[in-house]
Structure 1
Amino acid sequence: MRYFEETINGVDGSEALFRGYVISNSEAMDPDRVRPAVLILPGGGYTRTSPREAEPIALKMLGYGYQAFILDYSCAPSEYPVALLETAEAMRRIRTHAAEWHIDPDAIVICGFSAGGHAAAFFSERWNGAEVREHGFDPEEIRPNGMLLGYPVITSGPYAHRGSIDNLLGPERKDDPKWLDLVSLERHVTADVPPTFVWTTVTDRSVPVQNTLLFVNALVDAGVNVEVHIFPEGNHGSSLGTRETDNPTGWIGNLTCVQIWPDLVDRWIQGRFPNATSWK
């Protein structure tokens, strides 16, 4: 396996960290094997990117045989559209290097948790929008083929996680109705959003379950294929729901009910991309 780190320069002078975990091919098995890839955007309220939703998720995806990448995108004081454009560059690198990194270029899944879920879903709505075109990206080169969201921030409305929204927009735009509408993702779903897998918990007090419900309803209305799992318990930031990804205080807990979500994602990816998972 190959591990690497690269820098992505933000348009405001910030730097994002792009990390790759690439499984090697072997003459003893299948030298021409290609795999799906998962680009992971950790959460953190657009103030940071949480390690709990980064490498543990990447290692889990590697365990299923998928190439895994992490983007520690720029957060506050960086504002929209910095993280969006950094995500576009990460997607461009993955697809550009698909042959070198043994990836099926038609099986690239963007994945995000909490505010990273907002970043992933925002990108999945804007991958062919004006922002990326104006910065020289070819939309087809950065198009996501699937989307995986865990307890995502979605809305700027009554159920908003206002901290995430405020940090993304910055002090001058955070109360402007025009910008609040733009980042309320349930209002802008189209058929161009990729097939989606989303999960959350009923007892999330930081990002209420209504965020997921609003987004799922919008996906269905737009004709986007979606699989949704709402687990009965779990604090915000559940990650894998294991002791390994719990925080030092034990606040997250060992959540047996949510621990199944990676297996469900594995089945979902196999169903979405059979040509890239025929070796499983």
Structure 2
Amino acid sequence: MLHKTIYLNEIFSSLDTATTCPTLDIYMQNRSAKIDANRKRPCIIICPGGSYMYTSDREAEPVAMHFLAHGFNACVLRYSTLPNQFPRQLLELSATIAHIRRNSDEWGVEPEQIVVLGFSAGGHLAGSIGVHWDKDFATEGLELLPEENKPNKLVLCYPLISTDPNLYALPAQAQMLVKTFSPLNFEQEISLENHVSENTPPTFLWHTLDDVIVNVENSFKFALALRKNNVPLEMHIYPQGVHGLSLATTQTTHENNLDLIDEHINSWADLASEWIKRY
């Protein structure tokens, strides 16, 4: 397996301005003549959550390992966090997709099967590239070819989608997101349900009904927008479960932390794998 850490600002010089250095940890399976020397695999780009203040270890490498075991290549984007503002993170994700696509032959990646998977705030970032990949502000300074940064599919895990204050236990949370994360000229762009179009990639969503941190209505809003624009989707709503479950197994939490372990909810990752391969 090829495993290394890539510093994106060393490849894309326009990214060399952040107070934090974005990194990409790649996990690419070796090709073998004993199996199929020419095999190319889908690649999952994982965007961990963390309220745009950090990137969670629980939603990073363990998730990559799970998808590796299911026949994918995988990587984890440690994107810039606050005080870096939108669209900085979006540019980093655009650069990531383009870099993987440019190296697809060497790394054994199917260039038309690049999937962006995000949790919570990382789900917002994944959704952002899904609706904004074709906007100038998503590629500014990167010198990309047309559609080089386009994701082929999205997997959104309990994603933050909207800045609607009615979707939060504390309406001030929505205000905080807008004021601290987004410059004034981008306030509208960070409420993603308003920007879904026929150019948005097919999307897999899952959420829990009683998530009190990111209301399930976020996923409903995005799914409805996808439906209105005839974008293929699959959505799973689990009746119970706290926010931040990740894989919902002992691989992503302490074995005694029963709130974050759920044998029913952990089905989502297998369902997502099946969906990616089927559609």
TM-score in same-fold range (> 0.5):
yes
User: Which residue, out of 98, 103, 111, partners 2:109?
Assistant: 103
- Cα contact 2:43–2:113 (8 A) shared by 1: yes
- Note if 1:138 corresponds to 2:145: yes
1:6 matched to which residue of 2? 6
- Cα contact 1:46–1:167 (8 A) shared by 2: no
- Note if 1:19 corresponds to 2:25: yes
Q: Structure 1: which 5+ runs fail to align?
A: 273-280
- Cα contact 1:34–1:104 (8 A) shared by 2: yes
- Cα contact 2:42–2:113 (8 A) shared by 1: yes
- Cα contact 2:48–2:57 (8 A) shared by 1: yes
User: Which residue, out of 45, 49, 66, partners 1:43?
Assistant: 49
Q: How big is the shift at 1:162?
A: 5.8
- 1-structure distance, mates of 2:258, 2:194: 33
1:59-102 per-position Cα deviation (integer Å, ceiling 9, x unaligned): 01101110001100000011111100000111011100000010
Q: How big is the shift at 1:139?
A: 3.5
Pairs aligned (count): 269
- 2-structure distance, mates of 1:248, 1:162: 34
Bigger helix fraction: 2
Q: Structure 2: which 5+ runs fail to align?
A: 10-14
1:207-266 per-position Cα deviation (integer Å, ceiling 9, x unaligned): 010000011001100111000000011100010111221258726332122110111011
1:190 matched to which residue of 2? 197
Q: How big is the shift at 1:114?
A: 0.1
Following TM superposition, where does structure 1 have runs of at least 4 consecutive aligned residues deviating by more than 6 angstroms? none
Q: How high is the TM-score relative to the length of structure 1?
A: 0.90
- Cα contact 2:124–2:160 (8 A) shared by 1: yes
Q: How high is the TM-score relative to the length of structure 2?
A: 0.91
**Identity level (%):** 35
- Cα contact 1:43–1:49 (8 A) shared by 2: yes
One-letter code aligned to 1:45 = S
**Backbone CA RMSD of aligned residues:** 2.0
One-letter code aligned to 2:125 = A
2:156 matched to which residue of 1? 149
- Cα contact 2:91–2:140 (8 A) shared by 1: no
- Cα contact 2:91–2:139 (8 A) shared by 1: no
For residue 265 of structure 1, give the secondary structure of its aligned residue in structure 2.
Answer: helix
Are the structure 2 counterparts of residues 7 and 252 from structure 1 closer, same or farther at C-alpha, using a change threshold of 3 Å? farther
